[in-house]
Amino acid sequence: MKRILLSIAVCVLFFNSFSQVNTNAAWTWVKGSKRVPSFPEYGATGNSAPGNLPGGRKDFVSWQDAAGMVWIFGGRGNAQAANAYLNDLWKYDPATNDWAFIRGSKSVNDIGNYGVKAVSSLNNQPGSRIGACSWTDALGNFYLFGGYGYATTGIPGRLNDLWKYDPVTNQWTWINGSNVIDITAVYGALAIADPANTPGARSSATTWFDGTGNAWIFGGRGFANAGLGYLSDLWKYNSATNEWTWIKGSNVIDQPGNIGAQGFDGRILRKVFSG
Asked whether 247 and 185 are in contact (CB, 8 A), the reply is no
- pTM of structure: 0.87
Three-state DSSP at 274 gives helix
Beta bridge partners of 215: 209, 237
Tell me which amino acid residue 40 is.
Answer: P
Question: Rounded mean pLDDT of 220-228?
Answer: 96
Sign of CA dihedral 3, 6, 7, 8: positive
Distance CA 14, CA 54 (A): 10
pLDDT at 21 over 80: no
Q: What is the pLDDT of residue 211?
A: 83
Q: What is the pLDDT of residue 269?
A: 44
Q: Which domains does the chain have, with CATH numbers?
A: 2-274 (2.120.10)
Question: Rounded mean pLDDT of 204-211?
Answer: 94
Q: Average pLDDT over the chain, rounded to whole?
A: 89
Asked whether 77 and 134 are in contact (CB, 8 A), the reply is no
Asked whether 251 and 187 are in contact (CB, 8 A), the reply is yes
Q: What is the pLDDT of residue 131?
A: 98
Strand 61-64 with 142-149, pairing: unpaired
Q: What is the pLDDT of residue 262?
A: 78
pLDDT at 16 over 80: no
Nearest Cα to 129, choosing from 86, 98, 172, 92? 86
Give the chain's largest Cα–Cα span. 70
pLDDT at 10 over 50: no
Distance CA 78, CA 140 (A): 28
89-98, 126-135, 225-234, 255-264, range with the lowest pLDDT: 255-264
Structure-model confidence comparison of residues 245 and 269, the more confident one? 245
Beta bridge partners of 79: none
